[in-house]
Amino acid sequence: MKNWIIEKTGFDQQEIAANGNRFLCGNGYMGIRGTLEEYGKEQLCAINLAGLYDKVGEGWREPVNAPNPLYTFLCVDGVKYVLPQSETICHEQRLDYRHGLVYRKTVFKTAQGTVTITTEHFAHMEKRHLIGMMYYITSDYDAEVELYTGIDADVWDINGPHYDEVNMNLDENTLVVQAVTHEKKEKVVVAEYGVLNGICEQAYEKSEKKFLRKICFQCRKNKLAYLEKLAVVYTGNDCGDPLEDAKKDLAESVNMGYSFMRKKQIDCWEELWKNSEVEITGDKDAECALNYSLYHLLSIAPFHAKSQSIPARGLSGQTYKGAVFWDTEMFMLDFFLNSHPKAAKALLQYRIDTLPGAQEKARHYGYEGAFYAWESQEGGFDACSDYNVTDVFTGRPMRTYFKDKQVHISAAIVYGIMKYVNRTGDSELLYHGGAETVLECARFYDSLLLQKVHTDVYEIRDVIGPDEYHERVNNNGYTNRMAQYTFEQACILLRQCSKDKRMAEALKEYDIEQIRMRFEDNARKIYIPKPDKEGIVPQFDGYRKLEDTTVEKVRSRLLNEKEYWGGAYGVASDTQIIKQADVVTWMVMFPDDFTAEEKWINWSYYEPRTEHGSSLSACMYSILACSCGKPQEAYPLFLKSAQADLKGGGKEWAGDIYIGGTHPAAAGGAYMTAINGFGGVKIADGQVTAVPQLPESWEKLKFRILYQNQIYEITETKENAEIRKVSCELEEM
């Protein structure tokens, strides 16, 4: 069996933030940053809660971090031992990403010898509110130990503090902290139970925001002492009385015990990996990086919910306001469709349920239909600001147009809904709001179309495409093609009404024939850029008239390394240098639009002109290279996506604001590259096919995909692909 372990040895204070992402564990309800037990908000310690947001003053609304029940430290012979202040002999952190178990070992040097701390914790994958931890202590001499453990409510916030009240109570050896959020007065309850070696004798200490147990004992030479700890988190989003539910849930878990809950954790993860694991023979580094990426997707998937999406930084903190972007539908959805369609349905149900918010946004800008939030929070509220970037020279906010001009977001929702229906055969999503969502998105694009006098062509002007460095452009090819796709899919559903009574009922509010004819006309006449005489598809009107330079030359023009490259005055704005895949993304999403020759011409043209300033970019170039029969060119770009969180090194800070976190879209992109790119998997006309495009080092690729409730196991070598049906029954958590 594979190792399934990643680890870091030695202590490096500069790696604290990165390790918080690298060793993250979660279960879709919460994400626990992989920080050390003694850490607090200064080290970006956080238990990030899905779907619960709060706004304080003029700051950005952001997700709420729960009080931390893992907070633990010890004093030995009257001296406090914590990192980074204390001297260590050795230190390591590990993650078992097969089972979502996080480990730490630190050997502290004391005046009389050494004391070793070994810990393990997890966010339970079945009991979504539960956190478990073991804290082991040994010493090489008889040491007097004071162990402090409890709940730290002094949480890390980027734009907080988000708790107006923090109340602490003791309930029969159970520590309970109940906090109340600022904006909507939501209750967040954390209950914790801890016992040392089976003995509960202890004292309790309260400060303004910390509620701790103090356990004093003598740690005998080379004898193991251990703290067994279970905790639960509940909020007003979960139930009517989070306090009572928290106490009841914790009591049940304590009754079953840590060992039992740990075994259930392992069993749950093993079940998840049955349809998720990707085996790569001949390249262990790639195999590790890819499955580690999938671990992160599984850790933040809404298996427990009927309607919940995944933020752009997962559950790794408050970065990017905890908002949901187009990343989910365009980069993460494929993994869940192939492995866990119930989770995929929850992602899309979130979009259907937030349709009213998208309609309200469209009305705000004077449009019809549904204009989805660029940075979506609860109810479809758009958390994106009109001033999303700060000028590094003046310190003033800069007007940006992400919120009002990135209109391709609505088409991403349609793309996701229709892909789900086609892949699963589950039309219920359409009958219960999905079809209406598609039509409302089509109505939005209909209201965007412009027609020049004396022409028969419809245009979409003044937008931003996936490449955000060029704002307010006309006829962005990707945007127009996605709008055309939206019209086409709306027409398919409208035509279905004549033979499907349930579809007719779902769309009864529309004038079926009139709107169908209008959308068919739109789909025919919308302007779709074609390759020029050199075979290049211009990204938008006038793109090729811009300065043709290199990424390196543009970078050399920066006066400050933190300058924004786009916008009105950005160093890339008047050049052909782009942030991320744009035309190339179009070619990946609609491969039949172009010949293999056209794809490679455009790959060769755009890749050197792409800064890859987004973690979404590399995978699109990698997939397109595979479709051109160029797996070796694809391979380094695949690794760039697959190792985004394993290696780190991305943009972590914008001035004094932390913008780091995990990269689930890159993880999803790496998966798409492995399956659709190197694996060459296509699903068309009810058939699953695979044409291998394996890199040189890969001897065999093996994985499973789901298609219309049927599991297929696909095994590939460079010469052939074997596709085998495994089962007709799909089990979901």
- What's the CATH number where 303 sits? 2.60.420.10
Q: Identify the three-state secondary structure at position 520.
A: helix
Q: Write the secondary structure of 697-711 as one string of H (helix), E (strand) and C (coil).
A: CCCEEEEEEEECCEE
Residue 200 clears pLDDT 80, i.e. is over it = no
Question: What is the residue-averaged pLDDT of the chain?
Answer: 95
**Whether residue 178 sits in one domain with residue 287:** no
pLDDT digits (tens, 9 = 90+) for 54-67: 999 988 899 999 99
Cis peptide before 161 (omega within 30 of 0): yes
Is the residue at 193 inside a domain?
Answer: yes
pTM, two decimal places:
0.96
Indicate if 73 and 202 belong to the same structural domain. Answer: yes
pLDDT at 199: 73
Number of structural domains (the chain) is: 3
**Tokens linked to 87:** 């001297």
Q: Which of 666, 661, 662 is nearest to 639 (CA)?
A: 666
Structural domain contains residue 335:
no
Do 503 and 453 belong to one domain?
A: yes
What are the angstrom distances between the C-alpha of 574 and each of 96, 393, 570, 582? 47, 20, 8, 17
Coil, strand or helix at 477: helix
Residue 398: strand pairing partners: 389
Flag whether 327 is in a domain.
no
* pLDDT > 50? residue 529: yes
CA dist., res. 360 & res. 375, Å (int):
15
Per-residue model confidence (pLDDT) at position 684: 87
Which whole number is the average pLDDT over 123-149? 97
> What pLDDT is attached to residue 732?
55
CATH number at residue 564: 1.50.10.10
Distance CA 24, CA 46 (A): 10
Each residue of 675-698: pLDDT tens digit? 999 999 999 888 999 999 999 999
User: Of the residues 273, 290, 311, which one is the last residue of a structural domain?
Assistant: 273
Residue-wise DSSP of 311-365: -TTTTS-SGGGG-B-THIIIIIHHHHHHH-HHHHHHHHHHHHHTHHHHHHHHHHT
198 and 52 both lie in a single domain: yes
Whether 548 and 634 share a structural domain: no
**Residue 617 and residue 659: Cα distance in Å, rounded?**
18
pLDDT over 70 (residue 657) = no
- Six-digit token string for 527: 């302007």
Which domain does 121 fall in, by range? 5-273
- Residues 634, 572, single domain; the answer is no
pLDDT value, residue 606 = 98
CA–CA separation, 48 vs 26, rounded Å?
Answer: 9
Phi, then psi, of 418 in degrees rounded to 5: -70, -35
Whether 170 shows a pLDDT value over 80: the answer reads yes
337, part of any domain: no
Residue 372 falls within a domain, yes or no?
Answer: yes
The answer to whether residues 555 and 632 belong to one domain is no
Structure tokens at 652: 């972590």
DSSP state, residue 408: T
pLDDT score of 718 more than 80: yes
Claim to verify: residue 171 and residue 262 sit in the same structural domain: yes
pLDDT band, residue 214 (cuts 50/70/90): very high
Of 240, 237, 179, 186, the closest CA to residue 210 belongs to: 179
Q: Are residues 695 and 672 in the same domain?
A: yes
Whether residues 307 and 425 share a domain: the answer is no
Pick from 209, 240, 273: which residue ends a domain? Answer: 273
Q: The domain that contains 48 carries what CATH number?
A: 2.70.98.40
The pair of structure tokens assigned to 50 is 């899905």
Q: State how far the Cα of 394 lies from the Cα of 398, in Å rounded to an integer.
A: 10
Same domain, 27 and 131: yes
* pLDDT for position 1: 42
Catalytic residues: 468
Residue 425 lies in a domain: yes
* Domain stop point among 273, 306, 333: 273
3-state class (DSSP) for residue 590: coil
Identify the weakest region by mean pLDDT among 13-17, 128-132, 146-150, 553-557.
13-17
Tell me what pLDDT residue 541 has: 98
Confidence of residue 733 (pLDDT cuts 50, 70, 90): very low
Q: What percent of the chain has pLDDT over 90?
A: 92
Distance CA 566, CA 699 (A): 42
User: Looking at residue 569, what is its pLDDT?
Assistant: 87
Per-residue model confidence as pLDDT tens digits over 73-98: 999 999 999 999 999 999 999 999 99
Asked whether residue 286 falls in the same domain as residue 153, the answer is no
The predicted model gives 470-479 an average pLDDT of: 98
Asked whether 227 and 147 are in contact (CB, 8 A), the reply is yes
Residues 218-227 pLDDT 10s: 999 999 999 9
Three-state DSSP class for residue 108:
strand
Residue 194 forms part of a structural domain: yes
Residue 727 bridge partners (DSSP): 711
Inside any domain, residue 336: no
Please report the pLDDT score of residue 3 as a whole number.
85
pLDDT on residue 172: 87
Least confident of 456-460, 659-663, 711-715: 659-663
